[in-house]
Every structure is written in structure tokens, then in C-alpha cells.
Amino acid sequence: MSAPQRTARKQVVIVGMGFGGMHAARELAGSQCEVLLLDRNNYHLFQPLLYQVATAGLEQESIAYPLRALIRNWYNLQFQMREVTGLDLDGKRVLTDQGAVEYDYLILAGGSVTNFFGNAGVARHAFDLKRLADAERLRNAILTTFELAVQEADPQRRRELLTFVVVGGGPTGVEFAGALAELIRYVFRKDYPDLNLAECRVMLLEAAPTLLGAMPDRLRRYAEKRLRQMGVEVRCNCLVADATQDSVVLADGETIASRTLFWSAGVKAAPLADLLPGEKGPGGRVVVTDRLTLPGHDEVYLVGDMACALHDGKPLPMMAPVAMQQGRHAARSIIVREQRAAPAPFQYVDKGSMATIGRSTAVAMAFGLSFSGFVAWLVWLLLHLYYLIGFRNRAVVLLNWAWYYWFHERQVRLITAASGRNTSGGADGQDSNL
């Protein structure tokens, strides 16, 4: 495919349509620039709810939205489904699997991939959640495991099948562990009456001394207490050293017999970051200027998980709210520069963070306040509905949540493909799209 013809209007290319790229595109809609969106998927994925797809709570389609439908009424935006293979910064070109694309301004919103910290065994055998296919594969594995367990006569092998290890005590690990525990307690109890579900183990392992390390101590203790009440075995100061097809090996030598290992212990910048010059920060992120530009190339902006930007002297976390604000700032900076004005430095506004633990239970902090329980859960629910794209998606998600709230049922208990341990050697992040 040939590159789009250049016009007198400046060409902005946005790589990656995760949270950062989408918010940059929305800000540039209606501007005097021509905007080209590049992504290897034709949809925007709402990653924070992937764990609910994996635990049979939501359909895949309810958390994804077609990009062409998103930009349908934005006359100055175009989308092309391409795989980015490299960059020619001096020539101002993005190299893709279908030829080069020229740009005047470039916004790199490549996102992140799972960080297995060089552990080949874990990378080979663990599941992660970065793509839509990852959630479906993990759901298939969980459901298949129970189908096998109900037919397994050997008690030891059955316990191995019914042991689920979750590594990483951040929001994703906490939310997944809580959702899986509730799936077993409320749904599988009815689906598998012949199974002794007291044999089921959901283990949450965290290398740090506490869960949810970025939250106040009161919320950390509340989250751990609630998870334990739900039957989750929480172990802090617990480091995973290796994994095999049927076991998880801890750093102290203990071996946990398990067929299902879910890894949420860290992320790193998408591989595209390795192609960029300059200093790298934690997780391989590219250190950017205070205006989110690549040092030495002020026409190149980095936003989201690829960018290492400082706030109060520390790198900003790799979270969706950061990517959203950075995407909007990069787009506004380009508009300001085209008006022959100087853009302002990026200022991050910390609106807090939250995590849901289970039905009617969550923890949240915002603007110096912290709260937990039903109120936090209600705020979590409303904010996630607000940030979902599309009326249909919001309606479907709300209906599924209401159905589960009142009836303790999850409707998406479908095994759509044969499954086993993850053999992909890791997964690419949706935001990366590269």
C-alpha cells in the first residue's frame, strides 16, 4: 500500500490506539492537521476490564470498539491497520509492513508488554492479560480445568488442577484473584455439584511486603483482609523463581503444584522503545522532555507506557489515566505549535487510583481522600462505565454487572478453543499495537 499523499496541512501520525493514542486523536479531531492513525488491530480495547472477560463476566466484544466507527465523524482523521516495524527519525518516516508513512509530527503511544524479568520458564508457562485473545485463552483454560477436574479420579492430580496461582499484588492481580474466587464460590459451586470446591485454592503471591503498594496502608490492609475472607490465600514477600507445566517454584525452594499460573507482576515498554535513541528509564521506557518530546526530536511525542516522564521527581506510573492526560497534552501541544505559540510543559494531575476486590467491595483514593467498601465499588463501577466507548458497550456491561449482582451468575462460561498453559512466550500489550 502506498503512503498517503501529503497535503499543505501538517500530517500527524499516531502509532497505537490505546488510551494515549485515542485521547490524542480525539483532541486533534477538527484541527487544521491531517491525522493518520496506525494500529495493528482495528479496535480500541478497554484493558482494565480484560480480567472480567477472563473470569467469564463479560463478552470480548463489550470491551472493544471499532476504530473506524470511532472516527467516522472526525473528517480530518484516517485509520490504517498496519504493523509498525521501525522508525526513520531523520527522514521523518514511520516504517510499516505495508510501506513507509511520512509525518510532520509523530505521537508514539506504543504502550507496554508483560515483563517476565527474563524468566524463561514463567514466560513460557504463565498466562497474562494484555490482549483480547489473552483473556479468551485464560477463560478457556479456567473452564477446561474444571471440566477435567470433575472427571479426575486421582485426588492429587485433582488438587493440582484446582490450584490457581496469581502473581502480582497490584490492581490487576487483586481484581483477578477476587473475581476468580467469586466465580468459584458462587457460580462453579452450582455448575459442578460433584466437585468438592474446598479443594480449590486461589493463591495471590506478591514479592513486596504488602498488596497495592501505591495505596495508603489502611486500604492495603482492607484489601488483604477482604481477599482472605473470600478464600484467597495471600502471600507477601513471596518471590517466584520458575514455572513448569504443572508447578510454580518459589525462590525459597517451595514448589506449588498448579496447572494455571497468571502473571501480573510487571510491565515494560513496547519493543518499539528499543529503536529510539536516548536515555531509558525503568521498564525500558524512553526518558522524555518536560513537554513529552523525544530529546533531539521535538516533533516526536511519546505518551503512555512508552514514556518515562517525571512527577515530583519520580517516573509516572504506567497507568491508563497517565496515558490519557499525556495523549491530550501532546495533541494540544501540536495545535499550539501550529498557531506559532510555545506549548506548556506537561503537568500531571493525580486523580487517584482504585481497585475492585469483589461484589460490592473496592478500595479507592482520590484527591487525598481514601475510601473502601460499597461506596468505593460504586465509584469504580460508574467511572469504568463512563470511560467505556459506545452506548451499546456500556449497556451490555451494565446489564452483565446487574445480572451478576442480583443472581450471582456469569453468562459467558464458554470454552471456545482447546487451551493449556500459555505457550506464546509472552504477550504484546494492546496499547503497543506494534
Q: Are residues 150 and 259 in the same domain?
A: yes
Distance set, CA 389 to CA 19, 70, 432 (Å):
11, 8, 19
Domain-embedded: residue 259? yes
Domain-embedded: residue 277? yes
Q: Which residues pair with 250 in a beta bridge?
A: 240
Q: Are residues 33 and 91 in the same domain?
A: yes
Q: Map grid coordinates 485454592 to a residue.
A: 201
Give residue 88's pLDDT.
Answer: 97
Burial-class residue 313 by CB neighbours within 10 Å (0-12, 13-18, 19+): exposed
Report pLDDT digits (tens) over 52-85. Answer: 999 999 999 999 999 999 999 999 999 999 999 9
Domain harbouring 309, CATH code: 3.50.50.60
Give residue 425's pLDDT.
Answer: 40
In this structure, are residues 83 and 270 in contact, taking their beta carbons and an 8 Å threshold?
no
Give residue 418's pLDDT.
Answer: 63
Q: Are residues 388 and 242 in the same domain?
A: yes
Catalytic residue from among 160, 175, 206, 224: 175
3-class SS of residue 65: strand
Give residue 297's pLDDT.
Answer: 97
Q: Are residues 361 and 286 in the same domain?
A: no
In this structure, are residues 209 and 172 in contact, taking their beta carbons and an 8 Å threshold?
no
Q: Are residues 225 and 366 in the same domain?
A: yes
Amino acid identity at 391: F
In this structure, are residues 28 and 334 in contact, taking their beta carbons and an 8 Å threshold?
yes
DSSP H stretches of helix in 129-262: 132-149, 155-161, 171-182, 189-191, 217-229
Q: Are residues 307 and 261 in the same domain?
A: no
Domain-embedded: residue 70? no
Q: Are residues 211 and 241 in the same domain?
A: yes
How many Å apart are CA 228 and CA 208, to the nearest integer? 17
Last residue of a domain, one of 292, 307, 338: 338
Dihedral sign (CA 388, 394, 396, 398)? positive
175 is known as an active-site residue: yes
How many Å apart are CA 129 and CA 47, to the nearest integer? 8
Domain-embedded: residue 344? no
pTM of the model: 0.92
Domain-embedded: residue 52? no
DSSP H stretches of helix in 29-93: 50-54, 67-70
Please give the grid coordinates belonging to residue 139.
477463560
In this structure, are residues 434 and 16 in contact, taking their beta carbons and an 8 Å threshold?
yes
Q: Are residues 231 and 361 in the same domain?
A: yes
Q: What's the full length of the chain, in residues?
A: 434
Q: Are residues 235 and 331 in the same domain?
A: no
Dihedral sign (CA 61, 67, 70, 73)? negative
Domain that holds residue 193: 120-265+352-407
Give residue 44's pLDDT.
Answer: 97
Domain harbouring 371, CATH code: 3.50.50.100
Give residue 226's pLDDT.
Answer: 97
Give the chain's domain count. Answer: 2
Domain-embedded: residue 420? no
Other CB atoms within 10 A of residue 422 CB? 25
Domain-embedded: residue 417? no
User: What average pLDDT values come out for the chain (434 residues) when binned by 10 residues?
Assistant: 60 97 97 97 97 96 96 95 96 97 98 96 97 96 96 95 97 97 95 94 97 94 97 97 96 96 96 95 96 97 96 92 97 96 94 92 88 94 94 95 90 79 41 46
Q: Are residues 127 and 187 in the same domain?
A: yes
Q: Are residues 151 and 243 in the same domain?
A: yes
Give residue 420's pLDDT.
Answer: 52
Q: Are residues 183 and 229 in the same domain?
A: yes
Domain-embedded: residue 46? no
